[in-house]
Amino acid sequence: MQWVALAAIALAAVAADQLTKHIVASQLKLNDGVHVLGPFWIHHVRNSGIAFGFFSQATAVVIVLTGLAVAWMLVFFGRSGARHPVLPVALGLVIGGSTSNLLDRVRLGYVTDFLDLRWWPAFNLADSFIVVGVLILLATLVLAEREPRRSRPARDAPTRPS
């Protein structure tokens, strides 16, 4: 059942990201923008690199590394025995976002970014899904560390005479 949840979340993330990128690319010319509210703009830009435009001249390397990262996450999920119930959600978001951007890089050589806050580089839904998925994973790890561990009764502990 957790594989179904992981796949459903990843596929929904890919679909949402691809749909929004398609809408932006079909409605706005490259570098055009529409003011939404406050500092928030929809601004059609292309990014051939990864976060903040790093490695923009190394698209092939980014494609290979992203593919390896997605494969590793799937192997990790498959090998994790007693999975935390949040793991399919978090990894589904990260895998879906990574896969959607990977599809664009393979198909187009770049990703379409459009969410622009003016004080941060433009990004897309896939980027948001990746960040939210990682934050969920980190929060789960932190909360798991804060929970008191259940003490197990010692099996070989000597018993006291009454």
Confidence (pLDDT) at 157: 53
pLDDT digits (tens, 9 = 90+) for 110-148: 999 999 999 999 999 999 999 999 999 899 888 877 766
d(CA 117, CA 41): 6
Catalytic pick among 17, 104, 116, 127:
127
Q: Which of 32, 113, 116, 156 is catalytic?
A: 113
* Per-residue three-class SS string for 70-98: HHHHHHHHHHCCCCCCCHHHHHHHHHHHH
* Strands ordered across the beta sheet of 40-47: 33-37, 40-47, 111-116
Catalytic site includes residue 116: no
Q: Is position 32 annotated as part of the catalytic site?
A: no
Q: According to the model, what pLDDT value does residue 144 have?
A: 76
Decide: 77 and 87 in contact? Cβ < 8 Å: yes
What is the structure's pLDDT at 141? 82
Nearest Cα to Cα of residue 94 among 139, 51, 136, 133: 133
Model confidence pTM above 0.85: no
Predicted pLDDT of residue 78: 83
CA dist., res. 89 & res. 6, Å (int):
6
Quote the crossing angle between the two packed helices 2-27 and 125-146, to the nearest 10°.
150
Domains of the chain, by residue range, sit at: 2-138
Write out residues in the chain with pLDDT < 50, as ranges.
none
